Amino acid sequence: MSTTKTNPGNYFEDFHVGQIIRHATPRTLTVGDAALYMGLYGPRFAVQSSDAFARTIGYPSAPLDDLLVFHTVFGKTVPDISLNAIANLGYADCRFEKPVYPGTTLSTVSEVIGLKENSNGKTGTVYVRSTGADEKGETVLSYTRWVMVRKKDEASPAPEAVVPALPETVAPEALAAAVPAIDVSRFDTNLSGSPFRWGDYEVGEKIDHVDGMTVEEAEHQIATRLYQNTAKVHFNQHTEGQGRFGRRLIYGGVVISLARALSFNGLNNAFHLAAINAGRHVAPLFAGDTVYAWSEVLDKAELPGRSDIGALRTRLVAVKNRACADFPFKTAEGGYDEGVILDLDVWLAIPR
C-alpha cells in the first residue's frame, strides 16, 4: 500500500478567509547567520556591524539586520503559502516591532485576509497577514503580502472575492518601536561613514547609490536556503529549465537585500529599516545580472516622543544591468523603464 506523507503545498482552493496557519520550524538566529548574511550582501551600517558602536549609542549589542529578520519570518511561510505560487505580487504595512539580537528564536503565524480568483480561472491571488514572534511570544515583525497561486483544479468554483483595504503608509508613531533611545552625541559619523543626518536630507532629493553588484547562481541559492525558503522556482533547474524563463528565478528578497546594502552609499546613517509601506517586484532577476539602486526622499517625519531619531520615507528602486545616474523608474506611459526590477516604499530611521 502506498501513502503520501510529503507536503504538496496549498493550492488556491485550499485557502479560506480567516484561516490561521502556524508555520513549521522555529529558527534561532546566531552571529553565524549575521556573518553569512553580511558575506552574501555586504551591508555596512555601523549599528549592525559593530557591537562596540551599538553599545556606545545605547543598544545592548549589535542587533541583527532587519532584513535578515524579515526573510527568516517570510521563509517560514513559503511551504504553506507560496510553494505553488507563480509570483509574489507585493508587500504592504510591514512593521518592525522590536530589535532582534543573536540567540533569538523566530516563528511565524499567518492569517488569510483576502482571496480573489484571476480572470483566467487557472490562478488566484491570496492575501495573508504574517506575524513573526520571538521565543517569548512577543511580536518582532508583521507584514501583509499577496501572492498569485495556482489552482489544483481549474474547474473548482471561485470563492467570493475579498480584497483587503491596506494602508498607504505605516504611521510615524509606529516607526520607533524597534529602536531604543540612542545617544546621538555619541553617534560617531566618522565611524558610520557619513556626516549626513536627518536634517540634511530634503523631500524630492534623489540619490544614485553608484555601486553595482553581480549575482552568482550559488550566492542566491545559499541566501534563500539561509531563510529556509523552499520555493521550487529558486532551486530546481530540472523543472525550471522547462518553464517560462528556462532557468531558476532569484528570490525577490535577495533583490531587496542587495538594494538595501547598496543604499549605504548615500544613506550611510539610515541604520534601521523601520517599515515597508509598499513594495513590488517589477521584473525577474537571474544569475549573472548586475544590480544597481537609487533612492528618492518622499517624505520626512518627526517621531512622537523621540528627539534622537527621525524618519525618512524613501522610494528604493533596484535596476538590473543599467547604472542609475539617470534615475530610471517609469515611462511617460506609466509603465516601468527597461531594467527596473524593484519598487520599494520604505521608512528609514536616522539620527537627528
Q: What confidence tens digit (pLDDT) does each residue in 120-152 have?
A: 999 999 999 999 999 999 999 999 999 999 999
Q: How far is it, in rounded angstroms, from Cα 208 to Cα 23?
A: 39
Q: Which one, of 351, 277, 288, lies nearest residue 315 by Cα?
A: 277
Confidence of residue 4 (pLDDT cuts 50, 70, 90): confident
- Looking at residue 10, what is its pLDDT? 94
Q: Quick check: 83 pLDDT over 90?
A: no
Q: How far is it, in rounded angstroms, from Cα 55 to Cα 34?
A: 17
Confidence of residue 240 (pLDDT cuts 50, 70, 90): confident
Q: Quick check: 78 pLDDT over 80?
A: yes
3-state DSSP assignment of residue 227? coil
- Looking at residue 124, what is its pLDDT? 96
Percent of the chain topping pLDDT 90: 89
- Looking at residue 60, what is its pLDDT? 97
Percent of the chain topping pLDDT 70: 99
Q: What is the pLDDT of residues 91-117, one digit of tens each?
A: 999 999 999 999 999 999 999 999 999
Q: What domains are defined for the chain?
A: 12-351 (3.10.129.10)
- Looking at residue 54, what is its pLDDT? 98
Look at 19-33, 143-157, 317-331 and tell me which has the smallest mean pLDDT.
Answer: 143-157
Residue 75 sits at φ, ψ, to 5 deg, of -60, -35
C-alpha grid cell, residue 58 = 545605547
- Looking at residue 145, what is its pLDDT? 97
Q: Quick check: 1 pLDDT over 70?
A: no
- Which residues, in sequence order, are bridge partners of residue 348? 273, 312
Q: Which one, of 130, 149, 147, lies nearest residue 69 by Cα?
A: 130
